[in-house]
Every structure is written in C-alpha cells, then in structure tokens.
Amino acid sequence: MPAVRLAPVAVVVAVTSRYLGSNRSVVRPCAAFAVAVAIAGFGLDIAAVEAAVLPEDRADVLYHSYDGDNVTISGPSVLVRKSFATNFSASANYYVDKVSSASIDVVTTASPYTEERTQYSFGLDYLRDSWILSVGLTQSEERDYLANNFSIGISQDVFGDLTTISLGYSLGRDEVGRRGDPLFAEDVERQQYRLGLSQILTQNLLLGLSFETITDEGFLNNPYRSVRFVDTDSALGYSFEPEIYPRTRTSDAASMRMRYYLPYRAALHGEYRAYRDTWKINASSFEIGYTHPVQDTLILDAKVRQYSQDRADFYADLFPASQFQNFMARDKELSTFSSTTLHFGASYEFLDTWRFVERGSVSISLDFIQFDYEDFRDLREPTGVAGQEPFFNFDATVLQFFVSFWF
C-alpha cells in the first residue's frame, strides 16, 4: 500500500448539544458540533496500516469558531502527547468553549446569555505486542453543568496485521443545575459500548466498520426549554410550559467507512452511518470526500455530508392542550430535519527538523452547513394563527485553525 500521509484531520470541536439542542445521536446533525465528543487528538496520519504502534509525540494548538442561529462559540484548545518507558504514551488536553447565544430557542422563551465551558482530558496508552490498551479521563465544567467521563478501550491486530479489532467502554456521570435556582440539582449517567473493525481489502482499499450502543439515565432534557400548547385565552393563541422527557434513552449506531488510495498519492473516502433510539428517532448520514496532495508540503481536502432524521415520538411544535401527554418536547434537535455540510480544508508543512522538532504543520478548515426543519416553526415570524408560522431554517459556518508539531 502506498504510504500516503493525509492532512491532519481537525478534532471534531463542536458546540455542545446543551447549547444547540439535546439530540446526541451518533450521526450528529452538526448543530450539535459538540464537546461531548472526546478530544483525543487534533490530527491523524493515514499511512500504511502496520503492526500496532503508539501515537506519535506531538503538540497541537487549536482555535475553533462556530456561527449560526445567532449563536457564536469560539475558544482555544491545546493538546500534548508524549511517549515514555518504551511501551507507554500519555496525553493531556485543555479546551475552552465561549458561548454567546440568542438562538431561536432562547429569544422565544428566555433571555440571551453568555457562558464559558472548560474541559480537561488525560489519556494513557499501553502497547504490548500487537495490541494497545487505552484509558482516558475527561472533566468539563460550566456554571450549571459538570460532566465527568471515564473511557477504556483495547485494539488488537490479527491475521498478519491486515485486520484490527477494537472494543471500548465509556462511563459518564453529569451533574445538572439551573441558573438562578440553587435548589435545582439533577444527575445523568451515560454508558457507551463500542465495537470496531478495520480491514485492508486490497493494496489501495481500506474498510472500516463500527457499532456502538449508548444508554442514558437521569435528567435528559434542558432545564430552560419549554413546550408550547394551544391556549385560546392567550393573545398569541398559545402558551408555554416546561418540557417533560423520559428518564431513560438507549441508542444504536452503525457505520461503514471506505478509503481508496489513488496512484498519484491522493485518496477518496466515503462513509455511511445509521442511527436509531428508543425515542423513535431514526437518522442517517452519508459523506464523500477527496484529499489531494500538492507537491510534498501542501494537502487539500473537500467533502460533502448529508444528514436527515425523523422526530421523536413525544415531540411536537404545538401541543393541543397543556399537559397533553406524559412526555412533551419542543427541542428542534428532536424534530424532523436535515442538514447539508460542505467542508474545505488545507494543511501545509512549514518545518522540517529544527532542534528537537521533527516537523510542523499548519491546518485550516471551513464548513458551511445548512439546516432545514420540517416540523419546527419560527415563532419570530407570527402569522396570527398558532401553528401556521413558517418552518425554521438557518445556515452556519465552522472555522478551525491549528498548528501541530511532532517531536
């Protein structure tokens, strides 16, 4: 297989679903461009798949920015990874989200707000023969939310290192608060089980399969969000009351990825992911991309991604009456919607051996995302008849810029 090194893939830095909706389906709609995603590293070198090896020693500095639906999110992140004692590699990550939100959810039921979330992550990898054991700890904190996560995983190369099998488990325990209400305190427990398989099919073709199950238990909705219901005594024709969610949720997601290396060091890749959960949400996404090297120092990449989902069975934009059913939600991320993402990126190697630094690179990527909601209405444009407002849609941009050093 040709040893093609692709441009570093920026870590999926995203607006946490607590800011842009509660749907954490694994095929993320990117409105949840989000921090529940563990930041294990800012870059990946895709080269010939050989025996199990520890990640490279490196340091990364990232700046990310999101702008969409009157929500801006930005902040830095720093990652350092270093091997030691031959068989070990340790990593540490610091990550910040600064949020300013006047989204449609906020302006129709509450007041705009600003928030800052900080996250610390620590990881350790142990290599022995053809398998790697990885453990990680992550904690993130903001004024009304504390999240703690532990993860463990193991991967094993088999069949002459042509096949890699991986297993993983994560346990998260969160504490939910509410600004202005010191008596409000709820807990959430999340468990994730992962199974993965990567296979070299031919000299130029790689296949990846993965499956995961997530179970959530506890307070799963947003303490600030409300549902609306028909109220003939209101001048608007409707009123609001707090959301009520089930206290359990189980979701399953499966994906298939393929990467084909072209003779001139470029590569094509595609991915399909399917998702379903016990809230009756069914979702799928399809992605196709192309990576192209320009000489030896510049690599360009582009991709397009399409996502779509059905609504949760207890979601409605407008309920017929107050307390109409046991569970009620008006979170747009639980509605029927679709999104289309166009991604463009570039990576340039600007340094080749300087003192203790082996090489360095600078990378930038820009995503343009379009969201279209089919049963969530824009209350900022009243028509005089409740439930007849225009459907909501918006565009968003995501910018990521980072510098990497290998040593």
Query: What is the rounded CA–CA span in Å between residue 296 and residue 170?
Result: 39
Summarize pLDDT for 174-228 with one digit per residue, the tens. 999 998 899 999 999 999 999 999 999 999 999 999 999 999 999 999 999 999 9
Query: What is the rounded CA–CA span in Å between residue 6 and residue 331?
Result: 38
Average pLDDT rounded to a whole number, residues 75-85: 94
Query: What is the rounded CA–CA span in Å between residue 25 and residue 333?
Result: 10
Residue 44 scores a pLDDT above 50:
no
Query: What is the rounded CA–CA span in Å between residue 55 and residue 159?
Result: 22
Average pLDDT, the chain: 86
Q: What is the pLDDT at residue 12?
A: 33
Number of other residues whose CB lies within 10 A of the CB of residue 132: 22
Strand boundaries in 25-159, DSSP class E: 58-68, 71-84, 88-101, 113-128, 131-142, 145-158
Specify the 3-state DSSP secondary structure of 105: helix
Confidence band of 358 (pLDDT split at 50, 70, 90): confident
206, 267, 268 from 262: Cα distances, Å: 12, 5, 8
The burial of 51, by beta-carbon neighbours within 10 Å (0-12 exposed, 13-18 middle, 19 or more buried), is given as exposed
Summarize pLDDT for 85-115 with one digit per residue, the tens. 989 999 999 999 999 988 888 888 777 888 8
Query: What is the rounded CA–CA span in Å between residue 399 and residue 404?
Result: 17
Confidence band of 31 (pLDDT split at 50, 70, 90): very low
Of 150, 144, 97, give the one whose Cα is nearest residue 119: 97
Query: What is the rounded CA–CA span in Å between residue 404 and residue 360?
Result: 6
Specify the 3-state DSSP secondary structure of 107: helix
DSSP string across 197-241: EEEE-SSSEEEEEEEEEEEEEE--S-TT-EEEEE-TTSTTSEEEE
Q: 17-406 in CATH: which number?
A: 2.40.160.40
Residue 325 scores a pLDDT above 90:
yes
What global pTM score does this model have? 0.85
Is 366:37 a contact under the CB 8 Å cutoff?
Answer: no
Helix-strand-coil split of the chain, %, nearest 5: 5, 60, 35
Task: Give the tokens for residue 276.
Answer: 């379903």
Summarize pLDDT for 113-165 with one digit per residue, the tens. 888 999 999 999 999 988 999 999 999 999 999 999 999 999 999 988 899 99
Residues 25, 28, 29: CA angle, nearest 5 degrees: 120
Confidence band of 16 (pLDDT split at 50, 70, 90): very low
237-242: list long-range contacts, CB under 8 Å, 24+ apart: 237/385, 237/386, 238/318, 238/386, 238/387, 239/322, 240/109, 241/322, 241/323
Residue 7 scores a pLDDT above 80:
no
Residues 292, 296, 301: CA angle, nearest 5 degrees: 20
Query: What is the rounded CA–CA span in Å between residue 351 and residue 339?
Result: 38
Would you say the C-alpha torsion 32, 63, 75, 110 has a positive or negative sign?
A: negative
231, 300, 328 from 244: Cα distances, Å: 19, 46, 5
